[in-house]
Amino acid sequence: MTIRVVVAEDQSAVRAGLVLILGSSPEIEVVGEAADGEQAVELARELRPDLVLMDIQMPRMDGVSATRQVVAEGLADVLVLTTFDLDEYVFGALRAGASGFLLKNTDAKELIEAVRTVARGEGLIAPAVTRRLIAEFAAPRPVRSPDAPDPAVLDVLTRREREVLSCLGQGLANAEIAVRLEMAEATVKTHVSRLLGKLELRSRVQAAVLAQELGV
Amino acid sequence: MTIRVVVAEDQSAVRAGLVLILGSSPEIEVVGEAADGEQAVELARELRPDLVLMDIQMPRMDGVSATRQVVAEGLADVLVLTTFDLDEYVFGALRAGASGFLLKNTDAKELIEAVRTVARGEGLIAPAVTRRLIAEFAAPRPVRSPDAPDPAVLDVLTRREREVLSCLGQGLANAEIAVRLEMAEATVKTHVSRLLGKLELRSRVQAAVLAQELGV
DNA sequence: CCGGCGGTACATCGAAGGATGCAGTCGCGG
DNA sequence: CCGCGACTGCATCCTTCGATGTACCGCCGG
């Protein structure tokens, strides 16, 4: 059984080279060529290849979006091929569902081997980027929410106010905060009131939520 | 410049095989052999090799812990080698800072190539596990905090109470909740009071914090 | 020296929150 | 049908909260 491949790459010379390389292997058959992302998705829909070899930089629809589309529709596995190993490309492509990520400096033999590997249902990543992938994976950066409660807002608060805010984030009542911070309950109220004003909040509940989001 | 390697593997026969394979390459020199994790760390400290080839299953100190130690002290890169591609091994090893992850069914030539790759500062992962790594990476599962506020607690709440809790999590006041859920403020208070009791909380603030942690 | 300013602190008072008692509704097994 | 329990709903009463006014301290520049 041959591996049916669609090659998506906007530079025709490079595309021709890829086709040539892949065609040189008896078990690989290039069944289609696309010059942009949209064409790649269309061809994948029509031809149902085993694999799409996808460039990142392409007109009309970039490779990452095309990859997302192809994977979402379950049309084929995607092996991404690009010149630059920028993080945004790598992570973007992988999040989009790519099964592999190669750099264009890969030589012919490795490329063919890569296609076979991915077709086997395995994954493959260029060694040069593997390390950064591992690093990214190993250090799960705290999920900075898109709604991004800016930590800078804390700058407007005084030390005491930040301490009180921290207590609020733990769900403490004014009396409890007073004990913990060693001041009168009335004073706690003052600080609460002040920080509510500065942060433009309307109740301690909102302050607590904010404190949570900020991880205070 | 030769690549100086420490081999850590408890089964002496396997270890001998690895040493033989690595030694067959002119640019690789096996400078030490360890039969358990502690020895591996000690040897790494003494010999400062370029790379430690580390088995996962070892007595006294498992490979993951040893890897963490070696990497933390900046002693050497670590290439993990194991028989089983269990997720816990893979992810554990990578989080511990391993630069590569190979299965023992890797043949001699690939092993040597892998050592060279890692020594170059690149990363390397067995194709069979790469796909799962990608999947794990692409689907950033919500970081289940270790303090684990059990989502099951919500089971004790009625539909209405959950709705109110959700509003609390957004920092709304009783009057606002009343409008949103179309009931009297007095009723909102009832629900708040009830859910506080069921969840063993002492104020709406704590409820709001909990709602946050649960992502309600 | 002193007047202003920011941080901290406390007291007072109206508003919001929370506990409690009770009533209407629905579904279920006797 | 009836009793029972779970859910939802509202009203009353006491507590906590939050806004506001005031006061003390330390610091700075005039």
Q: Is the alpha carbon torsion for A193, A198, A203, A209 positive or negative?
A: negative
- Please answer yes or no on whether B208 and A208 come within 8 Å at the CB atom: yes
- Please answer yes or no on whether A131 and B142 come within 8 Å at the CB atom: no
Q: What mean pLDDT, rounded, does chain A reach?
A: 87
pLDDT of res. B144? 47
Residues 181-210 of A with CB under 7 A from strand C: 183-184, 186-187, 189-191, 194, 203, 205
Q: What residues form DSSP beta bridges with A4?
A: A29
pLDDT tens-place string over residues B72-114:
999 999 999 988 777 777 888 888 889 989 888 888 998 999 9
Establish if B48 touches chain A: CB-CB under 8 angstroms. no
Establish if A132 touches chain B: CB-CB under 8 angstroms. yes
Nearest nucleotide relative to A168: CA against C1': D17
Q: How confident is the model at residue B191 (pLDDT cuts 50, 70, 90)?
A: very high
Establish if A204 touches chain B: CB-CB under 8 angstroms. yes
User: Which of B99, B129, B134 minimises the CB distance to A131?
Assistant: B99
Establish if A103 touches chain B: CB-CB under 8 angstroms. no
- Please answer yes or no on whether A171 and B205 come within 8 Å at the CB atom: yes
Establish if B146 touches chain A: CB-CB under 8 angstroms. no
The residue whose CA lies nearest the C1' of nucleotide D11 is: B186
Q: Over pLDDT 70: what percentage of chain B?
A: 93
φ and ψ of A73, to 5 deg: -85, 0
What separation, in Å, do the N-terminal and C-terminal C-alpha atoms of chain A show?
58
CA distance B60 to B41: 12
Higher pLDDT, B141 or B165: B165
Contact A126, A107 (CB under 8 A): no
DSSP A146-208: TT---GGGGGGS-HHHHHHHHHHHTT--HHHHHHHHTS-HHHHHHHHHHHHHHHT-SSHHHHH
Q: Which nucleotides on strand D sit less than 7 A from a protein beta carbon? A: 6-12, 16-21
pLDDT of res. B172? 92
Task: Report the pLDDT averaged over residues A41-66.
Answer: 92
pLDDT of res. B37? 92
pLDDT tens-place string over residues A128-182:
888 888 877 766 554 545 555 566 677 888 899 988 999 999 999 999 999 998 8
What strands lie across the sheet with B100-103, from one edge to the other?
B28-34, B3-8, B51-55, B77-82, B100-103, B124-125
Name which of B29-43, B124-138, B181-195 the model is least confident about.
B124-138
Name which of A112-121, A139-148, B14-23 the model is least confident about.
A139-148
Task: Report the pLDDT averaged over residues B11-24.
Answer: 93
CA distance B89 to B78: 14
* CA neighbor of A93 nearest in space, from A52, A116, A64: A64
In this predicted structure, the answer to whether residue A206 has a pLDDT above a threshold of 60 is: yes
The residue whose CA lies nearest the C1' of nucleotide C7 is: A158
Task: Report the pLDDT averaged over residues B101-130.
Answer: 88
Per-residue flag: A174 CB under 7 A of strand D: yes
Q: Which run of H or of E encompasses A123?
A: none
pLDDT of res. A214? 84
Whole-angstrom CA distances from A58 to A61, A73, A98, A117 are: 6, 20, 16, 25
Q: What residues form DSSP beta bridges with A80?
A: A54, A101
pLDDT of res. A130? 84
Task: Report the pLDDT averaged over residues B142-153.
Answer: 57
Name which of A90-104, A164-178, B131-145 the model is least confident about.
B131-145
pLDDT tens-place string over residues B199-211:
999 899 999 999 9
Name all domains of chain B by residue range, CATH numbers in brackets: 3-135 (3.40.50.2300), 151-214 (1.10.10.10)
Tell me the whole-structure pTM to 2 decimals: 0.62
Indicate which of A71, A78, A125, A210 best probes the interface with B, i.e. most B CBs within 10 Å of its own CB. Answer: A125
Collect all residues of chain B within an 8 Å Cβ-Cβ radius of residue A95: 137-138
User: Which of B91, B95, B137 minimises the CB distance to A133?
Assistant: B137
A93 by Cβ neighbours in 10 Å (0-12 / 13-18 / 19+) ranks as: buried
DSSP A14-64: HHHHHHHHHHTSTTEEEEEEESSHHHHHHHHHHH--SEEEEESS-SSS-HH
In this predicted structure, the answer to whether residue B145 has a pLDDT above a threshold of 80 is: no
CA distance B169 to B186: 19
* B130 alpha carbon, distance to own chain's centre: 15
Collect all residues of chain A within an 8 Å Cβ-Cβ radius of residue B121: 131
Task: Report the pLDDT averaged over residues B1-10.
Answer: 92
pLDDT of res. A188? 93
Nearest nucleotide relative to A185: CA against C1': C10
Contact B169, B216 (CB under 8 A): yes
pLDDT of res. B45? 95
- Please answer yes or no on whether B209 and A209 come within 8 Å at the CB atom: yes
